[in-house]
Structure 1
Amino acid sequence: MDVRTLCDIPRQLLADYRSSRQLLYKEDGAWKAIPTQDLCERIRHLTLGLLAIGVGPGDRVALIAQNGPEWTATDYAILSAGAVTVPIHPDLPQDQVESILVRSSASVAVVAGRERLEGIRGAAGRLPALREIVAIDPVEGGRERARSLHEVARAGARADGVDPGAYERAAAAVTPDDLAGILYTSGTTGDPKGVMLTHANLVHNMKACCAAVPFVSSDLCLSFLPLAHAYERLVEFCYLYRGATIAYAESLQAVPQNLREVRPTIACGVPRLFERFYRRILETGDSLRSPGRHVFFWAIATARRRAVLKWSNRQASALLKIGWRAADRLVYARLRARFGGRLRFFISGGEPLQREIAELFNGMGITILEGYGLTEASPVVSLNRPDFVCFGSAGKPLDGLEVRLAEDGEIQARGPSVMKGYHDNPEGTRAAVREGWLLTGDLGRWDGHGCLVVTGRRSETFTTTAGKAVAPQPIEGLLREDRFIAQAVVIGEGRPFLAALIVPDFDRLRSYAARKGVAARETGALLRHPLIAALFERHLARVNDRLERALRIEAFRVLEREFRIEEGELTPTLRCRRGAIERRHAGLIEGIYAAGKAGAATARGPLAGS
């Protein structure tokens, strides 16, 4: 059947892809299945239940929950009622949640978790448009201003019995030009804007992605990125459009275990997660004794050589082929088993992926398809294809999208996926979309294969007092290549030299310290230990050797804790929010620059900041 709006996807599932396990979730230690019929019946009843409590065409309904079957069913129900989903990441600070609810004029909030529910209840007086609060979890006491999602579904079931055609009429009344979502951009800098995406925007992007990537009904897809973000939400539309099974990870922390349990064929991630996987692979080799350690790292080098030759259309030597097969038996098969052993491919988005990581994974038999996009483009703009991977690039533009580079290298896109505009922000819309071209604010170039290489973000590029323009992202990527560094932020706007705030991989660092007999128990004491400090000094020296003099890091600090979404320091896709981080560590930063270059040797030491 022809899918014109997102409301058509459940009908297509029933018509073409019935499965006994359309969705999978883990409860009480066991994976449980939801058949297609049950999912579509839940969507049907929730749609009619929302209509029964007064939700109508164009109404904004906020959805604040972790990934899971209820998120998916509720999203489709909101859309099928003709309303507009306003996804909100459940870990955002309360003030940001309230701001989105006010800005979007949300009339209904569907909420998971007792703490978040109480927060919305307590804020009700500050949310003039909010009429209803619906709790996904059972409501225990204090039922005023909240009803349960179960009640809404029961009311919908009763309505279905009275008027069996009501759901079909509601879904059929939705048109491609109707709004399907207002998504507030996470934004690494500046104030989030409400991106308005229509059914036509999202359906075009979904179909173009499915034309580029062969999702099939036999796929089992692990979902762990937040569905509140445009990336994972669009990917889920793709999965169900092709009839694939979706398994919801218990949490980001549980992803490694869930990969082994579910054994997916497809999963979507962000570079931060692939960096973690990469560091764990290297840690495996480090933990071995010779000759096993030498064999392991020989296999890693062999994987990279094979990947580079394969995707540059050069023939591997007979010796390399023999070596790869031996490495596959000794090393790669065991590493692939960590990811379930059945992966056809990963997809990576959110920001550029380090080339070394892509080469290693591809070389050991796990393809990573890197792409590029932004919420305003629904969100995918370009994507590597399974039959042609350009390492270090985001692939070629999707069918139906035009992409060009401005004189300053800004990436611009035009086509059916480009947003309708920013909610209640005509000035912002005029600045972002000109003559149909979306001005992304991202910088890029074309490689020799016609693939898009994203080089940075214009709003994050800064100038030092010496007049040097600095794109910090590539330098931060070099810093994160070290297995002991989890996060890094380069600073130096309006300053005489560059410095870095570094967050270590604490688990790996403590493991290393234990092997070396470092007895420090407190994090601060561990980071100040000379042996640990030397690790970061050596890596910084290696990074600086790869940079021109004006881009070298002259000072750094190692922090005592990770950046967090709930503190406003990370976006939902784990990108660092530079402004928030610099404000939080303003005192530490001032201390670095107060020492000046003359005191760089002292300033470089990893004096831990909170």
Structure 2
Amino acid sequence: MPTRPHLAVLLDDFRRFGHQTAIVQYTGNRRKATTYEQIATRAGRFAALLASHNLQPGDRLILWAQNSAEWVAAFYGCILRGVIAVPLDAYGTPDFAARVAADVKPPLIVGDATLLQTLNNDFPRLAFEDWPTTLPTNQAPPIPTLTHDTPLQILFTSGTTGDPKGIVHTHGNILASFEPIRHAAQPYLCYERIVHPLRFLHTLPLSHVFGQMMGLWVPSIFAAEVHFESRLTAPRLIETIHRERISVLAGVPRVLALLKTHLETEHPNLTQRIEAAQGISAFKRWVRFRDIHSLFGFKYWAFVTGGGALPAPIEQFWNALGFVLVQGYGMTETSALITLNHPFKVARGTMGKPLPGRDVKIQPDGEVLVRGPMISPATWSGGALQPRTGEWLATGDLAEAQPTGELRFLGRKSETIVTATGVNLHPEDLEAAFEPEPEVTACAVVPIDTPTGPEPCAILALRAAPDHAPAILQRANTRLAEFQRIRRQAVWPEPDLPRTSTGKIKRAAVANWLASREANNGRAAAAAGTDWLLTLITQITGEGLPTEPSQNPVAKDQDLRLAEDLRLDSLGRIQLQEALEDKLGIAFPQEQYDKVETLIELRQLIANSGNRGVSEDQSLPHPEHPEFAETADLTAQTKRPQATQQHGTQIPPGATQYIYPHWPWLSLIRWIRAVFIECVEQPLVWLLAAPRVAFPSPGTTETIKTTEPLLIIANHVTAYDLPLLLYALPRPIRRRTAVAMSGEMLEDFRHARNQQPLWLNPLGPPTWLLLTALFNVFPLPRLRDFQRSFAHAGNALDHGFHVVVFPEGTRSPEGTLAPFRPGIGLLVKQSQTAVLPMALQGLGELKTRRRPWFRSGTLQIHMGQPIRFTPDATEAAITARLHAEVETLLAKNQL
């Protein structure tokens, strides 16, 4: 099979794949799918825009954004034009982005608006959010001078000091890694048709070479779907894998560790089951662990991992469950891959064999040297390309060759600890001994200077109390050889060690912390300002810490209330929950999180939510004050109950399980609903109420024109508000609405309870059924579980429904507009769609003055214009703007 001349020819494949889905991205509560043909078209249009801005081949363009279809299209647009892309980590700092920009001097910077707004330089920029109005309609073809030697991109490694230094890749470098995989896959494509499309769940940044390999290049071989996921919590990942019928997860080892911890937490006997299954065949393992496979869905079969060393216990865990685990090894300088395990011939415990076209040799000290066409030919430094010298690349990695040709990773040469006795210790080997310890969330072994020379020191991030560290160290040492034994340990003050965007532990930061700690005679700072949880809360609220001595967070942690003392409102609780779940990679039981009122209860919940079967006395959080021991009895009060699993989601026993139905979206039900609305509901509203509709422009009967689903908001006065709103909406909109209704009220109907008078209770279930079928209602609880409601609203928007919400959260019988609940701002921000404000006027007057409803002539329905908010708009600002819009509509008296 001939090697392709350059990467731009992949767009020919994209056009051939046509309307097959290429990318699915999850943003807020929305799911957005983009086809291969759309990617190719946008890439051509973006290349035309670059030409119109006079960007020439060899010019640099900074690409700074989260993974998205626009990111991929912009990258391919640069390929077409010969412009060198400079992808930056979306989690990098504005300072680093500015330093890179000053070095590469880009004629244009593109990316997410929220990131571009943080740059203080004067370089021209274009936000992805502006593409609909800025991209030209014509498409540019690839320039004729593209070859294997054409520079493709510059990848800068993140840093905080010194001048940035980037690795330059050419088209040939990428093709040297991509083409061997494409060739090897050809014999299996006939089998791929049986399970087509393959779906990859992609959890890596596209600014990383491994992320590009699994997000840009490999999927094009199979016309596969790539699902971008940035929220790395285990329940969310499992739910997405099951719901979307994912085939393969691509992630760094930390993602596999998070999933392993979650399964061990939810299945306390899983470790014993794995031990009992040793030695049985792969098919029997699959049958024995079919309950685990059913959680992921039976189409899911493999992990592809890279970007860091995979600890042996994690590899053994997933292999024991019957999943395929494929490891690759490479680095930025080698355009991703040096070695790769064959997915159907995996050599366990190794990084696989070198790919074709690579020469690999191992030095006497174990360092891996490599040469071949995939090696970067230059770096970018000081504003210019600097050619690389030397035929062989010293990787800095240590490995040993297996008799069958695979390489086994030993560690980084620069991180090897040489003890006073001359023994070489590899940190990865030592850290693996802590993996089985359930109290340990992360471990890094770094050298510490002693009077006799360097020694290894284990830095532990714990979910247990720090005084458990010596016992943990003792148990870990039993798994190590005598010469590997660790005699020193320290407890990290946060629940996880610092990491890069690809999940690697920042060893330099850990080593610096340890050195600072030793310089202070082993004393860690105990000030409130160093408390990671308090710092996180104050970042969310924007409030300072309480200053009264009686509210000192160090001395009175258990008395510090989230609402009254830390000023955490309902919206802040949602933001805090999301931030904690993203930081820790765990999901809290919603019922328990909603009951948390004090800081100490929150600490206890954090400790227990990550508990992998730790005994009760071992699961205490870090003590931040002397009185902490007095709160130990909280462990029993907040101990996580057993729960029922639904695709990885935990529902505590006794909690209300709200129903979010999809059957009202079926074609038959939609047809029945349309007939009811047009033939029954609309005539009845006209006959009984005869409301007058005030459109945005006085004296006209113009309709609201939109090409996208809307969020529709209005004030709430009576139980008949929804039919009145539908009466005013244009026919195409009112036939495709989904309505958020009080979750508590719907549950009362569904369970035939709490109706007045009591004899109406039996009518509750049929009322729930009719409301759900004829008005497509879904629950929006007032007190908890509203994130699931928001997710359902986003799903409805994705299916083309306009979602109606009453943001007051309660009725205002007098017609006076009540404050909007802050959740509406979060819903709008997550939904990323326009909002149509409406106002009902006259209902309050009819009730307070006891005037008859029948064709009173006083009912008015005011309609505003759709409003779109910028990505940087805050939830509070959105809520305030929407309240003001409805208030303005109510103040009008146009008719």
Asked if the contact 1:377–1:419 (Cα under 8 Å) also holds between the matched residues in 2, the reply is yes
Cα drift, residue 355 of structure 1: 2.3
Q: How does 1:340-355 map to 2 (within 5 A)?
A: 340-355=297-312
SS in 2 for 1:492: strand
- 1:608 and 1:177 map into 2 onto residues whose CA distance is 58
Match in the other structure for 1:106: 106
- Aligned-residue offset at 1:476: 1.9
1:384 deviates by 0.8
Q: Which amino acid in the other structure matches residue 556 of structure 1?
A: Q
Matched position secondary structure for 2:7? coil
Kindly report which structure 2 residues correspond to 1:68-79, keeping only aligned pairs within 5 A, or say none: 68-79=68-79
Aligned to 1:134: 126
d(CA) in 1 for partners of 2:223 and 2:55?
A: 29
* 1:211-246 CA distance string (max 9 Å, x none): 455675631111121111110112221212432111
Closer, same or farther: CA 27–354 of 1 in aligned 2, 3 Å: closer
Distance 2:495 2:101 in 1: 28
Aligned AA for 1:199?
A: H
Aligned match of 2:19 = 19
What is the one-letter code of the residue matched to 1:260?
Answer: H
- Write out aligned runs for 1:273-352 (5 A): 273-286=255-268, 293=269, 296-306=270-280, 325=284, 328-329=286-287, 332-352=289-309
Going from structure 1 to structure 2, the CA distance change for 1:188 and 1:544 (only over 3 Å counts) comes to: farther
The one-letter amino acid of 1:256's match is I
Task: State the match for 1:245 in structure 2.
Answer: 225
One of 386, 389, 400 as aligned partner of 2:346: 389
User: Aligned to 2:338, what secondary structure does the other structure show?
Assistant: strand
Counterpart AA for 1:133:
R
Higher RCO, 1 vs 2 (CA within 8 Å, ≥6 residues apart): 1
SS in 2 for 1:404: strand
Asked if the contact 1:20/1:33 (under 8 Å) is kept, the reply is: no
* Residue segments in structure 1 that go unaligned for 5+ positions in a row: 125-129, 138-147, 161-165, 287-292, 307-315, 510-526, 596-605
Give the CA RMSD over aligned residues.
3.2
Letter matched to residue 543 of structure 1: A
Determine the C-alpha separation between the residues in 1 that align with 2:514 and 2:425. Answer: 20
Which residue matches 1:149?
131
Cα distance, 1:584 vs structure 2: 4.1
Displacement of 1:429 after TM fit?
7.2
**Contact between 2:448 and 2:457, CA under 8 Å: does it hold in 1?**
no
Distance, in Å, in 2 between the alignment partners of 1:94 and 1:414 is 35
Pairing partner for 1:209 from 158, 164, 181: 181
Taking a change above 3 Å as real, the CA distance of residues 364 and 480 of structure 1, as seen in their structure-2 partners, is closer
Task: Give the conservation status (yes or no) of the 8 Å contact 1:104–1:194.
Answer: no
User: Which is worse superposed, 243-252 or 214-223?
Assistant: 214-223
Q: Secondary structure at the match of 1:341?
A: coil
Structure number with greater Rg is 2
Pairwise mapping of residues 182-197 of structure 1 onto structure 2 (< 5 A)? 182-186=154-158, 193-197=165-169
SS at match of 2:140: helix
Structure 2 distance, partners of 1:27, 1:190, is 35
CA positional deviation for 1:202: 0.4
CA 1:471–1:54 in 2, change beyond 3 Å: closer, same or farther?
same
Whole-Å Cα distance in 2 between the matches of residues 26 and 607 of structure 1? 35
| 1:209 maps to amino acid | I
Number of aligned residue pairs: 516
Q: Does 1:372 align with 2:329?
A: yes
Report what 1:262 is aligned to: 244
Measured after TM superposition, the shift of residue 468 of structure 1 is 4.0
The answer for the alignment partner of 2:791 in structure 1 is none
Partner of residue 309, structure 1: none
Give the AA of the match of 2:238: P
Which amino acid in structure 2 is aligned with residue 575 of structure 1? K
Structure 1 match to 2:34: 34
Specify whether residues 189 and 428 from structure 1 end up closer, same or farther in structure 2 by C-alpha distance, changes over 3 A only: farther
Amino-acid identity (%): 24
Residue 592 (structure 1) shift = 6.3
- Aligned equivalents of 1:37 and 1:563: distance in 2? 42
- Cα pair 1:221 1:266 within 8 Å, conserved: yes
Q: C-alpha distance in 2, partners of 1:60/1:150?
A: 23
**Corresponding residue for 1:181?**
153
d(CA) in 1 for partners of 2:30, 2:298: 20
Structure 1 188/376 Cα, relative in aligned 2: closer, same or farther at 3 Å? farther
- Relative distance call for 1:475 and 1:428 in structure 2 (3 A) is farther
Cα–Cα, structure 1 residues 476 and 28, in superposed 2: closer, same or farther, change >3 Å?
closer
Take 1:538 and 1:481, find their aligned partners in 2: how far apart are those partners?
13
Q: What residue in structure 1 maps to residue 409 of structure 2?
A: 454
- The answer on 1:590 being equivalent to 2:545 is no
Of 393-402 and 237-246, deviating more is 237-246
Please give the alpha-carbon distance, in whole angstroms, between the structure 1 residues aligned to 2:312 and 2:79. Answer: 39
Q: Is the 8 A contact 2:328 2:352 kept in 1?
A: yes
- Counterpart in the other structure of 2:458: 500
Q: Is the 8 A contact 1:355 1:391 kept in 2?
A: no
* Distance of aligned partners of 1:105 and 1:477 in 2 relative to their CA distance in 1, 3 Å threshold: farther
Hey, what's the Cα distance between the residues in 2 that align with 1:4 and 1:339? 39
SS at match of 2:109: strand
Kindly indicate whether the alpha-carbon contact (under 8 Å) linking 1:560 and 1:608 is maintained by their aligned counterparts in 2.
Answer: no
| Structure 1 residue 351, shift from structure 2 partner | 1.9
Residues 99 and 164 in structure 2, CA contact (< 8 A), matched pair in contact too: no
Partner of 1:227: 206
Listed one character per residue, the Cα deviations across residues 485-523 of structure 1 (whole Å, up to 9, x for unaligned) are 22222122443432222123x5xx5xxxxxxxxxxxxxx
**Structure 1 segment 504-583 matched on structure 2, within 5 A:** 504=462, 506=463, 527-528=465-466, 533-534=467-468, 536-562=469-495, 569-583=498-512
Written as runs of structure 1 = structure 2, the 5 A alignment for 1:355-504 is 355-424=312-381, 434=390, 436-495=391-450, 496=453, 497-504=455-462
Aligned-partner Cα distance in 1 for 2:107–2:496: 33
Residue 13 of structure 1: how far off its partner (Å): 1.8
- Counterpart of 2:279 in structure 1: which amino acid? R
Change (3 A) 1:429 1:407: farther
CA distance in structure 1 between the partners assigned to 2:183 and 2:440 by the alignment: 37
Code of the aligned partner of 2:489: F
Distance verdict in 2 for CA 1:342–1:429, change over 3 Å: farther
CA gap 1:273/1:304 in 2 versus in 1, 3 angstroms: farther
C-alpha contact (below 8 Å) 1:112/1:135 kept by paired residues: yes
Relative to structure 1, is the Cα distance of residues 32 and 427 closer, same or farther in structure 2, using a 3 angstrom cutoff? Answer: closer
The one-letter code of the counterpart of 2:477 is N
Structure-1 residue corresponding to 2:882: none
* C-alpha contact 2:170 2:376 (8 A) present in aligned 1: yes
Equivalence map 1:119-130=2 (5 Å): 119-120=118-119, 122-124=120-122, 130=123
TM-superposed CA distance for 1:439, in Å, is: 1.0
SS in 1 for 2:445: strand
* Gap change, CA 1:338 and 1:483, over 3 Å in 2: farther
CA deviation vs aligned residue, 1:230-277 (integer Å, no higher than 9, x gap): 101122212124321112225223433322222211221111111111
Equivalent position SS for 2:4 = coil
Distance 1:209 1:433, change over 3 A: farther
**Structure 2 matches for 1:154-165, cutoff 5 A?**
156-157=136-137, 160=138
> Which residue identity is paired with 1:545?
T
Inter-CA distance 188–118: structure 2 relative to 1 (3 Å threshold)? closer
- Give the CA deviation at 1:444: 0.5
Partner Cα separation in structure 1 for residue 159 and residue 349 of structure 2: 23
CA drift at 1:373 = 0.6
| CA distance in structure 2 between the partners assigned to 1:188 and 1:211 by the alignment | 41
Question: What CA deviation, in whole Å up to 9, does each residue of 1:189-208 have, x standing for no partner?
Answer: 99863111001110121112
After superposition, the C-alpha distances for 1:95-142 in whole angstroms (9 at most, x for unaligned) are: 22222223333332212142x22221x243xxxxx3x111123xxxxx
- Cα distance in 1 for partners of 2:198, 2:362 equals 36
- Give the structure 1 partner of residue 86 of structure 2: 86
Asked if 2 retains the 8 angstrom alpha-carbon contact of 1:270 and 1:348, the reply is yes
> In structure 1, what residue type is equivalent to 2:402?
D
Q: Say whether residues 1:8 and 2:9 are aligned partners.
A: yes
